[in-house]
Chains A and B, each alone.
Chain A
Amino acid sequence: MDVLIYGTVNSVVFALIALGFTLVYGVSRVPNFAHGSIYILVGFLTWSFVNDLKMNYAFAIVVSLAIAAAIGLFIYQFILIRLRGMPTSEIIASFAVSLIILEGLRMQGIAGFKGFIGPFYVLRPFIEGKLKIAGVFVDYQRLIIIAAGVALVIVLWLFTHHTKMGLSLRAIAQDEQAAMMLGVNSDRMAMISLSIGSALAGLAAVTILPLGNITAETGYRVLIYALAVCIIGGLGSWVGAVLASFVIGFAMKLSTAIFGAMWESVVLVGTIILILLFKPSGLLGKQKELEERV
Chain B
Amino acid sequence: MTTEARRKERLDRSIKVRTETLYALTSWREMGYLFVPRFVLIAGLLLLPLILGMYWQRVLCTAGIYALLALGFDFLAEYVGLVCLGGAFFIGSGGYISGLLNAHFGFPPLLCIPIATVAGAAVSTLVLLPCLRLRGIYFAIISFMFPLFAVYIIIALNVFGGTEGISALDILPNTWVEQYLILGVILFALFAFRRLVSEDIGLIWRGIKDNDQAVKASGVDITAYKTKAVFIAALIGCFGGAYLSHLYGWLGISLFAMDFSILPIAASVMGGMGTLVGPVLGAFILTPLSELLRGFGQLRVVLYCLILIGFIVYKPEGFMNVLQRKYHQFERWEVV
Chain A interface residues toward B at CB < 8 A: 25, 31, 33, 78-79, 82-83, 87-89, 91-93, 95-97, 99-100, 103-104, 106-107, 220, 223-224, 227, 231, 262-263, 265-266, 268-269, 272-273, 276-277, 280, 290-294
Contact = CB atoms under 8 A, between A and B. Distances in A.
A293 B138 contact: yes
Contacts of A280: 133-134
B312 interface: yes
Given A79-B313, A83-B312, A97-B309, A273 B299 contact: no
B83 interface: yes
B83 A96 contact: no
Contact of B136 (A87, A220, A273): A87
Interface string B303-336: 0111011001100100000000000000000000
B85 A83 contact: no
B47 interface: no
B137 A31 contact: yes
A236 to B, nearest CB: 14
Nearest to B310: A96
Given A96-B305, A269-B145, A88 B297 contact: no
Interface in B122-148: 130-131, 133-138, 140-142, 144-145, 148
30 contacts: A25-B137, A78-B313, A79-B313, A83-B312, A88-B77, A88-B273, A89-B316, A91-B137, A91-B140, A92-B308, A93-B309, A96-B306, A96-B309, A96-B312, A99-B262, A103-B299, A220-B148, A224-B145, A231-B134, A231-B142, A265-B149, A265-B152, A266-B149, A269-B145, A272-B142, A273-B131, A276-B131, A290-B213, A293-B134, A294-B133
Task: State the majority secondary structure of interface residues on B.
Answer: helix
Contacts of B306: 96, 100
A224 B143 CA distance: 11
Given A93-B309, A96-B309, A276-B131, A224 B141 contact: yes
Which DSSP category, helix, strand, loop or mixed, fits chain A's interface? helix
A89 B302 contact: no
Contacts of A93: 308-309, 312-313
B50 interface: no
Given A87-B136, A269-B145, 5 more contacts: A96-B305, A107-B297, A227-B145, A276-B130, A276-B131
B220 interface: no
Contact of B298 (A87, A91, A97, A103): A103
A22 B140 CA distance: 17
A263 B157 CA distance: 9
A175 to B, nearest CB: 18
Contacts of A272: 142
B274 to A, nearest CB: 11
Nearest to B301: A103
